[in-house]
Amino acid sequence: MRSRRSVVALTAALLLSVTAACSSGDSTQGAESKVQEVTFWSFLRGSDTVAAAFNASHPNIKVKFVTQPASTTDYYNKLSNAIKSGDVPDVAVAEYTRLPEIVSLGGATDLSDQAGSLVDKTFPDPIQDLVQLGGKTWAVPRDASPMVYFYRKDFFDAHHLTAPTTWAEYKELAAKVKSVDGDKRAGAYLTNNYNLLTALSWQAGGNWFGTEGDSWKIGIDDAASLKVASYWQDLVSDGLVSTLPDYTDQFWTDVQKEKLVGYFCASWCAGNLKATVPDQSGDWAVAELPSWDGTSSSAMWGGSSFIIPKGSENSAAALEFIKWITTDAKGVEAWYANDATSMYPAKKALVTTAKSKFTTDYYGGQDIFSVLTDSYDSVEPDWRWGPTMATTESAFADRLGKVTSGSARLPDVYRQVQDATVKATKDRGLTVAQ
């Protein structure tokens, strides 16, 4: 990945709302003399088998897995309530998007002493930036989620189409697909999921969150992001992409009926496609994202880490479990017990392990991990998430559908979400640079 600009820029702004009590819990006493029980909360596919595999190889620690709501909104509300009550799990999944908010509310244990050097030595700089906030380490990364373009290679070959390398080429491709068959589309605009637009704003060079002195700097409506908004507004207005709520039944029905012959998603989508539409095995391929200037450029959609929530009484055992499931080859193999998984390890040394466990027949034998690695290596640097992402997410969700009805334009939506995010940040008691 590219060079790192700074790892300590958020110190004052982030820590303004973090209490001094966010230090490691006292959990080492007795860890060596008796079996330690670790409660593990996660909604990630394969978490149950990972916990079972760890238990089988670590007799001194017993991980109790508690499955969590598939709705991330419900999950983070539940985790927040647990932190407030003090009845917390010992290990919890935290997506990169939500980690700063958890930290700013004082909900995570500072892992700098126990895992700071591990994170420094193990993960590329842009991944470190997502879990090291305010100069401290708050989580250990599990996976990266580099973006790629999924497309029906059989359809493309039959009509002499190629995967686009620039966004200008993609617009031309979308028009060609529509002209070949008016029911088919080469992509989808999601009306209930802002993550696609977020990732493409990141790729374009947007910087939604940063700091200026002791204040947060928020730029959801910066020039790069508004360029993406205008581009997708044109795609929607011209009917060149499908409009779908999310990766729900309607989306997969369009894939099954071959109405959707291409879409943008991340590494984890490779397993989802394989599991959801198994009868199209051999028909799909992946390519790097098109870019604005034709050079390799990418971003991430999703990705997760693990925290030890503030108040855990078993942090030493919890950290041993976290290290195993994020940095140990056996741990990565355990995630791949389900063949539908396509998790791309944040630790690049373990990509070969993941690749060896992922069968490529579905993608016609294509080495999709090579494409994913190229995407991972070209992720734009210096992206950070903000302290009120729940508000940002809901503000987008309330407005994205209006773009398809024609009652709103996407650039205006970005500006409105900017205003909502600034207000929520100020309401949290944080300062925002003007």
Which regions of the chain carry the CATH code 3.40.190.10? Answer: 11-144+302-346, 147-299+382-427
Between CA 216 and CA 387 the distance in angstroms is: 9
What is the DSSP-derived secondary structure letter of residue 362? G
Q: For residue 33, what pLDDT is reported? A: 57
Q: For residue 34, what pLDDT is reported? A: 86
Residue 116 contacts by C-beta under 8 Å, 6 or more apart in sequence?
Answer: 132, 136, 137
- Residues 81-107 as b/e (b if ≥16 CB within 10 A, e otherwise) read ebbeeeebbbbbbbbbbbbbbbbbbeb
- Torsion angles phi and psi, residue 408, rounded to 5: -150, 155
Q: For residue 339, what pLDDT is reported? A: 67
- Could you tell me which CATH number the domain at 147-299+382-427 has? 3.40.190.10
Q: For residue 70, what pLDDT is reported? A: 85
Fold classified for 11-144+302-346: D-Maltodextrin-Binding Protein; domain 2 (3.40.190)
> Does residue 378 sit in helix, strand or coil?
coil
pLDDT along the chain (434 residues), means of 10: 44 46 42 81 94 97 95 94 96 97 96 98 93 95 97 98 98 98 98 96 96 93 98 98 95 98 97 95 98 97 97 96 98 86 95 93 96 96 93 96 97 98 96 91
Q: Is the pTM of this model over 0.85?
A: yes
Q: For residue 434, what pLDDT is reported? A: 76
